[in-house]
Amino acid sequence: MYASGLRASEVGTIALADLQERIGVIRILGKGDKHRLVPMGKPAINALDQYLKQCRPMLITAERAADRRDQGKIFLSRTGRPIERVRVWQLVKHYANQAGLEKAHPHMLRHSFATHLLAGGADLRIVQDLLGHADITTTQIYTHVDRTKLRQTIKNLHPRG
């Protein structure tokens, strides 16, 4: 989710056919039934590859495969059906708690994705496309972090600061 800026609701909609591992992108069906291509870094590709080879096959038993419970989706629940948004929330909260993070939720991963891209110098319009925002003003909320950094940089480095 962090590596591609996904919404919790988008995770369960990703189909095996949406994965373009060779070029490191995944096709996402977002809000308003709009598709977008988002990149995946090598760590995410490696983790996904491991999941697809080791974990996912265990979730699809012979009887589950026969009734196509998985619907061709990548991420499955323990019943072999596509994972639902609520379960994504539960998993993120569970692992965040294990890591000592108290108020974490899936959307924080999306916020972090956008904030880190902008802090690294990414163009706002590119971040808008990656997040699937229809309006640039929705994406602009992430620029407040850069403004804070900008103010501090000016204070520290400007000769009249």
Active site residues: 7, 31, 107, 110, 133, 142
For 8-152, list the strands marked E by DSSP: 19-20, 25-29, 35-39
How many Cα atoms sit within 13 Å of 46 on the Cβ side? 3
Q: Give the type of residue at 67.
A: D
Residue 146 in 3-state DSSP?
helix
Q: Which residues contact 149 (CB under 8 A, 6 or more apart)?
A: 119
How far is the CA of 107 from the CAs of 6, 20, 85, 146, 154, in angstroms? Answer: 8, 24, 11, 19, 31
Partners of 28 in beta bridges: 36
